[in-house]
Amino acid sequence: MAVQKSKTSKQRTNKRFANFKVAAPALAECPQCHELKMPHRVCKKCGYYDGVAVVAQKEEKKED
Protein backbone atom coordinates (compact mmCIF):
# COMPACT_ATOMS: atom_id res chain seq x y z
CA MET A 1 0.00 0.00 0.00
CA ALA A 2 1.30 3.49 -0.91
CA VAL A 3 2.03 5.79 2.02
CA GLN A 4 2.81 9.48 1.66
CA LYS A 5 6.23 10.64 2.84
CA SER A 6 4.87 13.77 4.52
CA LYS A 7 1.58 15.60 4.89
CA THR A 8 0.71 18.13 2.20
CA SER A 9 -0.27 21.35 3.94
CA LYS A 10 -3.46 23.26 3.16
CA GLN A 11 -1.41 26.15 1.81
CA ARG A 12 0.52 23.96 -0.61
CA THR A 13 -2.69 22.21 -1.70
CA ASN A 14 -4.48 25.51 -2.32
CA LYS A 15 -1.54 26.93 -4.31
CA ARG A 16 -2.33 24.42 -7.05
CA PHE A 17 -5.72 26.02 -7.62
CA ALA A 18 -4.68 29.67 -7.18
CA ASN A 19 -4.00 30.27 -10.88
CA PHE A 20 -7.25 28.80 -12.20
CA LYS A 21 -9.30 31.63 -13.67
CA VAL A 22 -12.41 31.72 -15.80
CA ALA A 23 -11.58 33.09 -19.25
CA ALA A 24 -13.77 35.73 -20.85
CA PRO A 25 -15.83 34.34 -23.74
CA ALA A 26 -14.54 35.06 -27.22
CA LEU A 27 -16.77 37.40 -29.20
CA ALA A 28 -16.99 37.99 -32.92
CA GLU A 29 -18.90 40.58 -34.92
CA CYS A 30 -21.96 39.39 -36.82
CA PRO A 31 -21.49 40.21 -40.53
CA GLN A 32 -25.23 40.92 -40.96
CA CYS A 33 -26.16 43.18 -38.02
CA HIS A 34 -22.67 43.92 -36.59
CA GLU A 35 -23.63 42.85 -33.07
CA LEU A 36 -21.17 40.91 -30.92
CA LYS A 37 -21.90 37.18 -30.79
CA MET A 38 -20.08 34.01 -29.86
CA PRO A 39 -18.23 32.51 -32.84
CA HIS A 40 -19.73 29.51 -34.68
CA ARG A 41 -23.21 30.22 -33.32
CA VAL A 42 -26.40 31.74 -34.67
CA CYS A 43 -26.73 35.46 -33.99
CA LYS A 44 -29.40 36.09 -31.36
CA LYS A 45 -30.40 39.44 -32.82
CA CYS A 46 -30.79 38.70 -36.55
CA GLY A 47 -30.88 34.88 -36.66
CA TYR A 48 -28.19 34.52 -39.34
CA TYR A 49 -25.36 31.99 -39.41
CA ASP A 50 -22.74 31.93 -42.19
CA GLY A 51 -24.81 34.32 -44.32
CA VAL A 52 -27.96 32.18 -44.17
CA ALA A 53 -31.12 33.01 -42.20
CA VAL A 54 -31.42 30.01 -39.87
CA VAL A 55 -33.85 31.26 -37.24
CA ALA A 56 -36.89 33.36 -38.09
CA GLN A 57 -37.15 36.35 -35.76
CA LYS A 58 -40.45 37.15 -34.06
CA GLU A 59 -41.86 40.59 -34.67
CA GLU A 60 -42.32 42.69 -31.57
CA LYS A 61 -45.87 43.72 -30.74
CA LYS A 62 -46.41 47.43 -30.27
CA GLU A 63 -49.01 48.36 -27.69
CA ASP A 64 -50.92 51.57 -28.44
Indicate the number of domains in the chain: 1
Whether 29 is in a domain gets the answer yes
Element (H, E) at 49: strand 48-49
pLDDT at 57: 78
pLDDT at 64: 62
- Partners of 29 in beta bridges: 36
**Domain membership of residue 32 as a residue range:** 25-54
Whether 32 is in a domain gets the answer yes
Summarised one tens digit per residue, pLDDT across range 2-42 is: 898 999 999 999 999 998 888 999 999 999 999 999 999 99
3-state secondary structure of 12: helix
Whether 1 is in a domain gets the answer no
Whether 41 is in a domain gets the answer yes
- Locate all alpha helices (DSSP H) within 1-64, ordered by sequence: 10-15
